[in-house]
Structure 1
Amino acid sequence: MIENVRILHLNDLHSHFEHYPKVKRFFEQESDEEREIVRLDLGDNVDKSHPLTAATSGRANVDLMNDLRLDFATIGNNEGIGLSKAEISSLYDEADFKVLIGNLKDENGQPSWATPYHIYRTAGGTTVAFLAYTFPYYLTYQPNGWQVEDPIESLKRDLSREEVASADVIVLMSHLGLPYDERIAREFDQVDLIIGSHTHHLLEEGAYLEGTYLAAAGRYGEHVGQIDLSLCDGQLTDVRIFAQAISQLGSQAGDEKWVEDRLEQGRQLLAKDSICHLPSSLGVEESADLMMTAMKHYADASLSIVNSGLVVKGFAQDLTMADLQESLPHQMRLISLEVSHDELLAICQEIFAKEPLLKQQKIRGMGFRGKQFGNVLTSGFTYKNGKIVYNKKVINKSDCYRLVLVDQYYFAPYFERIKDKEVKLLFPELLREVVANDLGQ
């Protein structure tokens, strides 16, 4: 029996709803009656940088995923880490699709809102095993209440399951990134197709490696993936992969209004949450000072270092969560570390030495949702002419101090001195939630 199955997939949307109207039309237009359709989301759909996502903790995203008539979705780090455990545990309550994730557990085992894999049976009786794994950020999943497992070991385990091993076709929904995908293609010939994400890579016409097909559709809804599978008596005979650029699809009247309505809906929801009344509206550095004070309170620290680019817009006088969302849109948490005088001096030497290079850099990823890095600012001490002054006194070299930073400083490749230190990741609040709670008091 000859069968034609079409897989439509969305990669790393990150709440870029500005592309959603075109994405939806593509999903609808390519769902022809001659083919069986399976619709997928590859994770990192949710990103709290968008006001509506922040206001609903991602539930608005799930409504739109339902609107796309998805069959299966997996999670990325923006769902697994960017949301608190309580938020993700209720995220999919109203989902009309199955959530698949095979390498995430807690103290009770498999999360109740997801299954490790699914055996899909086509209308013609072909069995397709859908597996899914997310990138193993061990350091950040653990303090958020999760145990993320090695995806390679998880894959080995799942491939040994009888119903997976006996499936006619095995498809991996990967939120692992291209290097992992290529490794899996080389080492596991059982896997027929890997649909990749996480590293935002784009394979416009797919790739073929060691007998495994690879597909990926970039990021932000800028592309949408289409994979046509030809099957004969349960055997895969042909695979055609295509990533459609959304920019090449026509706009329609009402698209811009739909996008603006989503922004306004989010802003209105967030505006209901009043934080505080300040003596006046603040500039960037004044706002950064309040931000660092809040960071120190949260971490029980005496020192802080930030970059001014974290404050996208100075704090409004009558500050609401809508205002703070604009000022601090980042998907970012805090870290703390204990430092001696010499360790703090070495960290400052590295950070300030790189300030001229980073200042105008347009930072991407690692939770940063601003425009550029900006200037380096400190609180609790000053660094000048290669020396540290703490509370207007020369620091006592025998003392140890707690320093609080945004987690980007640890995960980004810029600052090796910080990477060398043992740090504590602080959960569950995001940076703007830390600031809101502190100012609200």
Structure 2
Amino acid sequence: MKENLRILHINDLHSHFEAYPKIKRFFAEHSVCDAEVIRLDLGDNIDKSHPMTAVTAGRANIELMNELGIDLATIGNNEGIGLSKTELNQVYDQAQFHVILNNLTDREERPSWAKPYYIYETRLGTKIAFLAYTFPYYLTYQPNGWAVEDPLSCLERDLAVPEVKTADFRILMSHLGIKVDEKITQVYPQIDLIIGAHTHHVFEEGGELNGTYLAAAGKYGQFVGEINLTFDQHRLDAIDIVAHETSYLPSEPLDKIWIQDFTTKGRQLLDQFLLTDLPQALDLQESCQLLMDAMLDYAKADVVLTNSGLVVNPFPARITRDTLHHALPHQMRLAKIDVTLEELEAICRDVYSQGKLLARQEIRGMGFRGKEFGQVLCSGFAYKNGKIVYNKQVINKKDRLQLVVVDQYCFASYFETIHSKKAELLFPHLLREVLEDYLRKKSMKGDL
């Protein structure tokens, strides 16, 4: 006897709620059918660049996922790294769905909020195994208190689990990116369908590679995925994969109001946390200097390199959490690097020369949520005519310094002299949280 299963899915929303009302209607309307329906989220739903996500540490996202009727979800790096360990351990407390993840551990134990896999049994007894893994950013998961494992090794292990091995159909919820997914199709033919995420790719009409079906729905809610499967005697008989572009879905008059109200409410909640009242508003240069002072203090560093584009808006006199969120929306932390004077000079030559090229460029990814790179700035030293001047004198070349930068400089490829260095990543505070703590400390001392 034939039976039908429908999978609805989203991925990499990154707290872009502009299409949420449309997605909610799509999920509701396409869940009314003769088929059994499973609704999935493939991770990176949470991004603290949105004020409501920031003020609730992601719990508002979980409420919206509950409203969508999500059945199964996995995490991306924005959940695993963008949230502190404490926040991640609490964010799913009110989830009305199962979180699947089997390559993240805490002291060699899987976190309590995650299942290693999930076996869905249809009304007619077809067994479908869902597996899920997130991209292994080893350098950032470890200082955040987690151990992340190689997903392919975990997949091989899990495929040998009797429940998974004997399932009629195996679906991988992959937050690993298209290149890893393609490799999986070559090495693990046991996987029947990969629903992909992380690299923001989209298969508008699905795909097939090495006998494995592929689905993906882009980013930011720009697409919503639908997969219709027909099974006959527990074997796949037909499959149809579509990614629907949400811009073509009908709008309703209240959509814009909901989107605006959701953002406004988040900003209002953030604004309730007053951090300090300055004597006067700061210009961009003064705002950047205040940020660099906070970076030096937090990292206990000697010198700092940064870029003015990090400060999206100069700081007003009244600074609240909303002020900082609006000015520093980035998902960035700090990194500290031990350098000699000679190494710092090489880094400066690299950063200042590349900075001229980057100044007016729009920067994307690696946690940056601003507009453009802006100008290279430094504090704790001056860089003139290719030389480092520190405390008004050229440093002895044998001295070593602690340099602090935003972690983006370590991950992105445009500053090779930093990218190639071993850096200490500083957790758990995001950039704006570093400044918040600094302002609070200075206010208590009466130094502002």
Unaligned runs of 5+ in 2: 442-448
Residue 381 of structure 1 corresponds to 381
Residue 33 of structure 1 corresponds to 33
2-structure distance, mates of 1:316, 1:130 = 50
2-structure distance, mates of 1:357, 1:186 = 40
2-structure distance, mates of 1:241, 1:410 = 38
Residue 155 of structure 2: SS of its match in structure 1? helix
Residue 244 of structure 1 corresponds to 244
Residue 326 of structure 2 corresponds to 326
Residue 429 of structure 2: SS of its match in structure 1? coil
Residue 15 of structure 2 corresponds to 15
Note the 1:232-271 alignment, pairs <5 A. 232-271=232-271
Residue 97 of structure 1 corresponds to 97
2:62 counterpart letter in structure 1: V
Residue 212 of structure 1 corresponds to 212
1-structure distance, mates of 2:337, 2:15 = 32
Percent identity, aligned pairs only? 57
Residue 116 of structure 2 corresponds to 116
401-410 or 378-387, which deviates more: 378-387
Residue 79 of structure 1 corresponds to 79
Q: CA deviation at 1:377?
A: 0.4
1:413 counterpart letter in structure 2: S
Residue 438 of structure 1 corresponds to 438
Unaligned runs of 5+ in 1: none
Deviations 1:246-278 (A, max 9, x none): 100111011111011111111111111111111
Q: How many residues align?
A: 441
1-structure distance, mates of 2:173, 2:54 = 26
Q: CA deviation at 1:34?
A: 1.2
2-structure distance, mates of 1:61, 1:228 = 26
2-structure distance, mates of 1:161, 1:275 = 52
Deviations 1:385-427 (A, max 9, x none): 2111112211221100000000000011111111221110000
1-structure distance, mates of 2:390, 2:436 = 27
96-105 or 357-366, which deviates more: 357-366
Note the 1:1-400 alignment, pairs <5 A. 1-107=1-107, 109-400=109-400
Q: CA deviation at 1:16?
A: 0.4
2-structure distance, mates of 1:108, 1:273 = 38
Residue 428 of structure 2: SS of its match in structure 1? coil
Q: CA deviation at 1:121?
A: 0.6
Residue 417 of structure 1 corresponds to 417
Deviations 1:26-54 (A, max 9, x none): 11121132111100000000000000000
1-structure distance, mates of 2:107, 2:279 = 47
2-structure distance, mates of 1:33, 1:204 = 22
1-structure distance, mates of 2:23, 2:280 = 43
2:213 counterpart letter in structure 1: Y
Residue 19 of structure 2: SS of its match in structure 1? helix
1:261 counterpart letter in structure 2: D
1-structure distance, mates of 2:116, 2:144 = 20
Name segments (4+ residues, structure 1) moved above 2 Å: none
Q: CA deviation at 1:279?
A: 1.8
Deviations 1:52-72 (A, max 9, x none): 000000000000000000100
Residue 345 of structure 1: SS of its match in structure 2? helix
Q: CA deviation at 1:351?
A: 0.7
Deviations 1:351-400 (A, max 9, x none): 11111211111111110000111110001011122111112211221100
Deviations 1:156-199 (A, max 9, x none): 00000000000000000000000000000111110000000000
2-structure distance, mates of 1:42, 1:116 = 15
Residue 206 of structure 2: SS of its match in structure 1? strand
Per the normalisation by structure 2, the TM-score is: 0.97
1:80 counterpart letter in structure 2: G
2-structure distance, mates of 1:420, 1:160 = 39
Residue 259 of structure 1: SS of its match in structure 2? helix
2-structure distance, mates of 1:230, 1:101 = 27
Residue 445 of structure 2 corresponds to none
1-structure distance, mates of 2:18, 2:135 = 26
Residue 136 of structure 2: SS of its match in structure 1? coil
Residue 444 of structure 2 corresponds to none
2-structure distance, mates of 1:206, 1:285 = 49
Residue 20 of structure 2: SS of its match in structure 1? helix
1-structure distance, mates of 2:3, 2:395 = 74
2-structure distance, mates of 1:388, 1:260 = 48
2-structure distance, mates of 1:19, 1:313 = 26
Deviations 1:293-316 (A, max 9, x none): 101111100100111110000011
Residue 18 of structure 1: SS of its match in structure 2? coil
Residue 446 of structure 2 corresponds to none
2-structure distance, mates of 1:58, 1:153 = 30
Residue 204 of structure 1: SS of its match in structure 2? coil
Q: CA deviation at 1:108?
A: 5.0
2-structure distance, mates of 1:385, 1:174 = 50
2:57 counterpart letter in structure 1: S
1:317 counterpart letter in structure 2: A
Per the normalisation by structure 1, the TM-score is: 0.99
1:13 counterpart letter in structure 2: L
1:238 counterpart letter in structure 2: A
Deviations 1:306-354 (A, max 9, x none): 1111000001111000111000000110000111011001111111111
